[in-house]
Amino acid sequence: MATQETTSAPATEQPPSGGGFSRRTLFQGAGAGLAVGAAGGVLARGATVPEQHAAPSLGAARIEFQGPHQAGIVQPPQARVQLAAFDLAPNAGRAGLQALLKLWSQTAARLAVGEPAGTHENQIALDAGPSSLTVTVGFGATLFDKVGLADRRPAQLNPLPAFPLDAIDRSRSDGDLWVQIGADDALVAFHALRVLQQQAAPAAAVRWQMAGFARSPGATAKPMTGRNLMGQVDGTNNPKPTDPDFAAKIFATGPDWMAGGSYVVLRRIRMLLDDWENLSTDRQERFIGRRKSDGAPLSGGTETTPVDLTKQNPDGTLAIPADAHIRVAAPTANGGAAMLRRGFSYADGVLPDGSPDAGLLFLAFQADPARGFVPVQQKLARGDGLSRFLRHEASGLYAVPRGVQGGEGYLGQALLEG
């Protein structure tokens, strides 16, 4: 059986699965943009496509739902994302949550292979393939009290501290349940959201919803790290599934039901693009610490050259300035803190003052936020020159239970029945 561990490992091939029909799995590392098959076709990343002469297509690409970890963590961002939080109805209780998670798990599995889900009445994306759809579900801290499981709420879900410069709108933050839907087709992603929403009623209702995007597969001539709306290469130093300590950094080992799970931090980060674009390229690059053109660190080399934080310019100044983003965020400056970033851009029109309502839907997965997002953000909010061009406007922290596999029937089963 293909697992997400193996389907996400770069540059490795595995034999056809023992499933209903033979498939070939195409591999690609996190952060890369596309995989090009032998026939020159453009294929979605980290995805399985039918073997045997079938024209490779974006629509046919699929990502396995089952596995030790949920789908939508180690795979690079799809072209489109829908994020939503749901709040449980007061009378839903543990039984209501259980029924909902069963339904969502079935739906996620069906949609991942292109089978219809939901009622016929709300079919939207008929005739499209799964388009690398993933559905990822998380539990907010508030969920546990509501279903009588307060004593099993992990300490990792303790509220994030307030950070300097935060401007958090709580109505677009938090939530009992969190869903991340990624797909390379916008209609497929929207349809999945509508089905999950319909299935949630009346046990749970949408608290907030956000849409984002990343590069379309094939937009660049070769696989590239993505760029954010500041135009900067973003994600170069992301942990890779091939790193020896990847699993230890990203996946939790316990409690029982979270073994193989992860904790995701969401931040809706508006970028003050009007101010940013008024800076010279040189100034932009020194705020980041990397060249805009190719993402190479200002200490020299290419995008993937290790950053040399001690490197000096001929005039004795630091090549990577003291307040550069990559210096302040460096794992070495944060006790080895690491997280797997899986961000999407958003662009939701203009605000009343005429500035763009646009920026980054920052998502980061980690084994423990106290050794990932929290220490890094505490430093960034104080010392990062980039911070003055950013506004954190929404925030969330969710426990993403392990994937469905083996004898388990649905996401969160070990919590609800354990």
Residues marked as catalytic: 234
- Considering beta carbons, is residue 58 or 320 the nearer one to a second copy? 58
Three-state DSSP state, 245: coil
Q: Tell me if 89 contacts a second copy by CB under 8 A.
A: no
Residues 322 to 351 in contact with a second copy, rule: CB under 8 A:
345, 347-350
- CA distance linking residue 271 with residue 358, whole number of Å: 6
Member of 279, 375, 393, 408 binding a second copy (CB under 8 A) = 279
Q: Smallest gap, in angstroms, from Cβ of residue 219 to a second copy?
A: 4
- Considering beta carbons, is residue 13 or 274 the nearer one to a second copy? 274
Stretch that binds a second copy, among 149-157, 179-187, 331-339, 405-413 (CB under 8 A): 179-187
3-state SS, 19-80, equals CCCCEEECCCCCCCCCEECCCCCEECCCCEEECCCCCCCCCCCECCCCCCCCCCCCCCCCCE
- Considering beta carbons, is residue 142 or 198 the nearer one to a second copy? 198
Member of 7, 48, 82, 98 binding a second copy (CB under 8 A) = 82
Which of 56, 410, 11, 361 has its CA nearest to residue 182? 361
Q: Tell me if 316 contacts a second copy by CB under 8 A.
A: no
Q: Smallest gap, in angstroms, from Cβ of residue 346 to a second copy?
A: 9
Q: Tell me if 318 contacts a second copy by CB under 8 A.
A: no
Residues 111 to 130 in contact with a second copy, rule: CB under 8 A:
119-129
Q: Which residues contact 268 (CB under 8 A, 6 or more apart)?
A: 172, 210, 346, 359, 360, 361, 362, 392, 393, 394, 395
E strand segments, 309-355: 340-341, 344-350
Stretch that binds a second copy, among 104-112, 173-181, 253-261, 274-282 (CB under 8 A): 274-282
- CA distance linking residue 252 with residue 401, whole number of Å: 9
- Considering beta carbons, is residue 132 or 334 the nearer one to a second copy? 132
- Considering beta carbons, is residue 126 or 155 the nearer one to a second copy? 126
Q: Smallest gap, in angstroms, from Cβ of residue 28 to a second copy?
A: 15
Residue in the structure block whose two tokens are 């300097």: 164
Member of 12, 22, 242, 293 binding a second copy (CB under 8 A) = 293
Residue in the structure block whose two tokens are 């994937």: 403
Q: Smallest gap, in angstroms, from Cβ of residue 234 to a second copy?
A: 11
- Give the angle subtended at the CA of 143 by the CAs of 339 and 262, to the nearest 5°: 20
Handedness of CA 173, 176, 182, 187 (dihedral sign): negative
Q: Tell me if 14 contacts a second copy by CB under 8 A.
A: no
Q: Smallest gap, in angstroms, from Cβ of residue 290 to a second copy?
A: 12
**Range 222-237 burial, b when 16+ CB lie within 10 A, else e:** ebbbbbbbbebbbbbb
Q: Tell me if 90 contacts a second copy by CB under 8 A.
A: no
- CA distance linking residue 52 with residue 147, whole number of Å: 48
Member of 1, 55, 95, 162 binding a second copy (CB under 8 A) = 55
Note whether 250 and 64 are within 8 A (CB): no
Handedness of CA 10, 12, 13, 15 (dihedral sign): negative
- Considering beta carbons, is residue 57 or 106 the nearer one to a second copy? 57
- Give the angle subtended at the CA of 14 by the CAs of 35 and 216, to the nearest 5°: 20
Q: Smallest gap, in angstroms, from Cβ of residue 27 to a second copy?
A: 18
Residues 187 to 246 in contact with a second copy, rule: CB under 8 A:
187-188, 190-191, 194, 198, 205-206, 208-211, 213-221, 224, 227, 229-231
Residues 367 to 396 in contact with a second copy, rule: CB under 8 A:
none
Q: By rule CB under 8 A, what count of residues binds a second copy?
A: 72
Note whether 69 and 262 are within 8 A (CB): yes
Member of 59, 96, 321, 369 binding a second copy (CB under 8 A) = 59
Q: Smallest gap, in angstroms, from Cβ of residue 97 to a second copy?
A: 20
Identity of the amino acid at 93: G
Q: Two tokens at 326? A: 């990559």
Stretch that binds a second copy, among 23-31, 58-66, 101-109, 393-401 (CB under 8 A): 58-66
- Considering beta carbons, is residue 84 or 337 the nearer one to a second copy? 84
Q: Tell me if 354 contacts a second copy by CB under 8 A.
A: yes
Note whether 144 and 153 are within 8 A (CB): yes
Q: Smallest gap, in angstroms, from Cβ of residue 391 to a second copy?
A: 18
- Considering beta carbons, is residue 345 or 387 the nearer one to a second copy? 345
